[in-house]
């Protein structure tokens, strides 16, 4: 079913371009990928008289649906990203042409981490002075200051333990200490980027479905549109326009669709260069 992978690659290229350019992934593209994946699995099952082929695509869609909804409702992905994941799952299935969905997810996490770091670093570098001021202000916040003090004491304790543990444990504790510092300062870095550059006031007429609103919108004391972890619906946008609200505060996410494309390219490259089942690389 190599043709399905071609459809998926083209779809991911379009999704990455649209997400980066407009911060939206068209529903027609996502639903099209889902339909192509399930229909392709059905055709393969009929052609080879093997129902397991269709069930693999159906199971891939179901697993991706569950993951997409989890990421959507925990505000990690937008609705377009969640639907794109469903399309990927429907086409790849649990396993297609030695390409495994679980392996793709591992590479997606890796690609997303690298892409997210590069994207946020580019924002910080493009606005150095503003970022530096915001970062210094962030680390002086009471909660963050207490966290940093706790980090110093934890580091001192781990360094003290290094004097009394075997050599193998020295490496383990060293990596733990490094990991803790990286995680904490990465969180401070990302929080600074979000609060400084990604939280914006925008006109209601510019809102799109799925935008994440930071605060409730009230008319008098009545909340007409509450802030929601799942983003604005078309109906809520209509209510905001009718209420004559001028602007609202929203949080823009980093366009994530390029990570889907990068993860898929890494998957294909690993299969091509290593000449082995991708599944065997991880399991």
**Which pLDDT tens digit goes with each residue over 60-81?**
999 999 999 888 877 778 788 9
Is there a single domain that holds both residue 228 and residue 258?
no
Is there a single domain that holds both residue 224 and residue 270?
no
Whether 85 shows a pLDDT value over 90: the answer reads yes
pTM comes to 0.74
Query: Using CA atoms, how far apart are residues 262 and 203, in angstroms rounded to an integer?
Result: 33
Task: List Cβ neighbours of 192 (8 Å cut-off, separation of 6 or more).
Answer: 131, 134, 135, 138
Is there a single domain that holds both residue 6 and residue 59?
yes
Is 22 within the bounds of a domain?
Answer: yes
Domain that holds residue 272: 2-102+254-282
What integer pLDDT is reported at residue 230 of this predicted model?
A: 66
Is 114 within the bounds of a domain?
Answer: no
Q: Which of helix, strand or coil describes residue 203? A: strand
What integer pLDDT is reported at residue 283 of this predicted model?
A: 44
Is 229 within the bounds of a domain?
Answer: yes
Is there a single domain that holds both residue 262 and residue 232?
no
Is there a single domain that holds both residue 175 and residue 206?
no
Query: Using CA atoms, how far apart are residues 104 and 126, in angstroms rounded to an integer?
Result: 32
Is 214 within the bounds of a domain?
Answer: yes
CATH number of the domain residue 70 falls in? 1.20.120
Which of 31, 36, 88, 42 lies closest to 63 in space, CA to CA? 88
Count: domains in the chain: 3
Is there a single domain that holds both residue 204 and residue 194?
no
């Amino acid at each position: 079913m190599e043709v399905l992978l071609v459809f998926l690659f083209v779809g991911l290229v379009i999704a990455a371009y649209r997400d980066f350019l407009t911060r939206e992934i068209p529903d027609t593209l996502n639903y099209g990928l889902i339909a192509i994946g399930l229909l392709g699995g059905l055709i393969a099952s009929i052609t080879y008289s093997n129902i397991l082929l269709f069930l693999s695509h159906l199971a891939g869609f179901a697993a991706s649906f569950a993951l997409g909804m989890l990421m959507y409702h925990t505000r990690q992905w937008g609705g377009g990203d969640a639907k794109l994941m469903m399309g990927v799952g429907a086409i790849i299935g649990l396993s297609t042409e030695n390409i495994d969905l679980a392996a793709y997810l591992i590479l997606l996490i890796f690609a997303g981490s690298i892409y997210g770091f590069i994207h946020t670093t580019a924002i910080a570098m493009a606005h150095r002075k503003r970022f530096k001021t915001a970062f210094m202000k962030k680390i002086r916040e009471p909660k963050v200051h207490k966290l940093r003090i706790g980090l110093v004491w934890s580091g001192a304790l781990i360094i003290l333990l290094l004097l009394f543990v075997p050599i193998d444990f020295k490496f383990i504790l060293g990596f733990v200490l490094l990991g803790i510092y990286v995680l904490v300062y990465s969180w401070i870095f990302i929080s600074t980027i979000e609060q400084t550059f990604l939280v914006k006031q925008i006109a209601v007429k510019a809102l799109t479905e799925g935008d994440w609103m930071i605060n409730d919108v009230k008319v008098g004391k009545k909340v007409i549109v509450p802030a929601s972890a799942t983003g604005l619906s078309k109906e809520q946008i209509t209510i905001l326009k009718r209420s004559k609200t001028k602007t609202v505060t929203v949080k823009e996410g980093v366009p994530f669709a390029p990570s889907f494309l990068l993860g898929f390219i890494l998957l294909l490259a690993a299969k091509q260069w290593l000449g082995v089942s991708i599944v065997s690389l991880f399991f």
